[in-house]
Amino acid sequence: MKFNIYAFAFTLVAANTIAVYSEPANFDVINALASYGLHVDSVARKRAEDSVSSRYHCATACNQLASHFKSQILPAGTSAYDEWRSQFWSSYQQDALPKCIFQPSKADHVVIAVLLSRWSHCPFAVKSGGHAAMKEASSATCGITIDMAKLNSIVLANDKKIAKIGPGDTWYDVFTKLESEGVSVVGGRVQNVGVGGFLLGGGISLFANERGWACDNVANYELVTAIGAVLHVNQSSYPDLYRSLRGGGPNFGLIHGGSMTYHYPSQHQAYREAHKRLDFISVLAVDNDANPNTTAFDEFKDIAALSDTRKVRTQSDLAAENGAPLPNGMREHYWDQTFRFDGNFVKWMGEVFYEELNPIKKSIEGLMVMLLFQPVTRESVRKMQRNGGNTLPLVEREAPYVIINYAAMWSKPTVEDESIVVDTVSKTMGRIVEEGKRRKLFVDYIYMNYGSEYSDVLASYGPKLHHQLEVVATQVDPVGVFQYLRSGYFKFGGPPRTRGHETIPSPHVRNH
């Protein structure tokens, strides 16, 4: 089953008559806001631009939102604001201090927020599920955070072949709703992951071998452009934009919207051998035939199990189980890299993981670390080519791949602990990358949804794809609203940086 995503959040466009969208050269943001009943003061804006101390004029933008949408604004300094911040999965995201939090309930509301940000040069961020590890991935310090929580409808078509899903949904919401109708979609594997960001980064799924990743199953994106137009993007309307959204991240629009079924016997053996060198190994494996007597997992039976939760189950049930060991409020750091699969290399990585971890593991309060091996099979890469393909640099003839994700969480929010953990993760991944290059297994692809803030994810797609994505982004957003005003996460021009209001560079957005 395919599904529509309606985002009401930013910059992609479509129409039935042309194939390339470009922003009108004569666009005037003040006139655009006036069409929605907001009569902003251009003189006040000019003063804001001339003032270093208030050049983003976020107070004015937030006041405008509050005057029109009082019940949908959470201003700083209120208990509701503090409660909202506490709901982030990563405590780094909880650290962000927006000037205001705006919770739109329909498309026009998001249009106004985007236009106000553009008018005032106030940074903004968009929160779908808020499950990214890094600070300001989905919340803007001293800016506007657009929380999509109220845009959470799930509408199933009469023929049950298309589901229209809102950016404020989590995958648990989606699965439970659709399961009640006897259907499901290709989505996330953890219950509180949001629809938007997961899809824009690619979206590894439980059904990868049968249907590709989640982004490969989106039939249509409904999004808001940098000029506030709400339009549709699909394979028939704007194929380049459509393909760019499928793995290219929030550089064209913010939707802010696992398969471990091995088909290669050598992979089974490699993970079993790696287990001999690890404290324990957790295996997420799915047989989509839903047969309680399946033999698909037999090669893991000789590994003594601390816990075995195999059963015929729904996606929502499995997503809830996967999310249970991931508490909110911890420091989180992710780092990943892709390699061609090799069993001996997998075993070597397990050894290096402990060599680097052992010296620090008792000195960091609440430390929990995992080295995750995410296979990408030849079948799944083949399925990615359906319906226009995606923008990911994975090639069927080179598969199978394995994405290595070093996931670390710890409880104490100190600079010292952060430095120790991040240095250890960086050193470990650096050694793995160098050895992978030596063995000619290295693949220059970083999966966005596991990426570190110190990684240049888009550059890892390779010069050709990077250029194609940048061309599309420039066409759809020539003034750079989503490059210079959107807070955090992965953009063109290098890795993200954790930064506060005072260190955000002056935006290059045109003054109209």
pLDDT per position as a tens digit, 441-458: 999 999 999 999 999 999
Q: What pLDDT score does 7 carry?
A: 37
Per residue in 115-130, pLDDT (tens digit) is 999 999 999 999 999 9
Assessment of whether the complete model's pTM goes beyond 0.85:
yes
Q: What pLDDT score does 281 carry?
A: 57
Q: How far is the C-alpha of 127 from the C-alpha of 447, rounded, in Å? A: 20
- Three-state DSSP class for 5? strand
Q: What pLDDT score does 300 carry?
A: 67
Q: What pLDDT score does 16 carry?
A: 35
Q: What pLDDT score does 327 carry?
A: 86
Residues forming a β-bridge with 126: 146
Q: What pLDDT score does 287 carry?
A: 66
Q: What pLDDT score does 119 carry?
A: 93
Q: How far is the C-alpha of 72 from the C-alpha of 83, rounded, in Å? A: 15
Q: What pLDDT score does 386 carry?
A: 82
Looking at 3.40.50, 3.30.70, 3.40.462, 3.10.100, the CATH number of the domain 265-460 comes to 3.40.462
Report yes or no: 249 and 469 within 8 Å, Cβ to Cβ: no
CA angle in degrees (0–180, nearest 5) for 480-481-482: 90
Q: What pLDDT score does 229 carry?
A: 81
Q: How far is the C-alpha of 203 from the C-alpha of 218, rounded, in Å? A: 11
Q: What pLDDT score does 504 carry?
A: 30
Spell 345-359 as b/e; 16+ CB within 10 A means b. bbbbbbebbeebbee
Q: How far is the C-alpha of 375 from the C-alpha of 453, rounded, in Å? A: 23
Q: How far is the C-alpha of 84 from the C-alpha of 88, rounded, in Å? A: 8
262 contacts: CB under 8 Å, gap ≥ 6: 268, 285, 375, 377
CA distances to 185, 217, 389, 474 from 382, rounded to whole Å, are 19, 13, 10, 30
Residue 334 tokens read as 């992710």
φ, ψ of residue 163 in degrees (nearest 5) = -120, 130
**HEC letters along 167-224:** CCCEHHHHHHHHHCCCCCCCCCCCCCCEHHHHHHCCCCCCCHHHHCCHHHHEEEEEEE
Closest CA to 282 of 314, 312, 258, 311: 258
Q: How far is the C-alpha of 456 from the C-alpha of 469, rounded, in Å? A: 14
70 contacts: CB under 8 Å, gap ≥ 6: none
Q: What pLDDT score does 326 carry?
A: 81
Kindly give the confidence (pLDDT) of every residue in the chain, 512 residues in length, as a single tens digit, with 9 standing for 90 and above. Answer: 554 544 332 222 223 334 567 788 889 999 999 999 999 876 455 555 555 444 458 999 999 999 999 999 999 999 999 999 999 999 999 999 999 999 999 989 999 999 999 999 999 999 999 999 998 999 999 999 999 999 999 999 898 888 999 999 999 999 999 999 998 889 999 889 999 999 999 999 888 888 999 999 999 998 788 888 887 889 998 899 999 999 999 887 655 332 112 223 334 444 454 444 455 556 666 766 777 777 776 776 666 666 777 777 778 877 778 787 788 999 999 999 999 999 899 999 999 999 999 999 999 999 999 999 999 999 999 999 988 899 999 999 999 999 999 999 999 999 999 999 999 999 999 999 999 999 999 999 999 999 999 999 999 999 999 999 999 999 889 999 999 999 878 999 899 864 333 323 333 343 44
Q: How far is the C-alpha of 499 from the C-alpha of 2, rounded, in Å? A: 38
Residue 94 tokens read as 């909880």
47 contacts: CB under 8 Å, gap ≥ 6: none
Per residue in 324-377, pLDDT (tens digit) is 778 899 999 999 999 999 989 999 999 999 999 999 999 999 999 999 999 999
Q: What pLDDT score does 15 carry?
A: 32
Helix 42-50 × helix 58-68 angle, to 10°: 150
Share above pLDDT 70 across residues of the chain, in percent, rounded to a whole number:
81
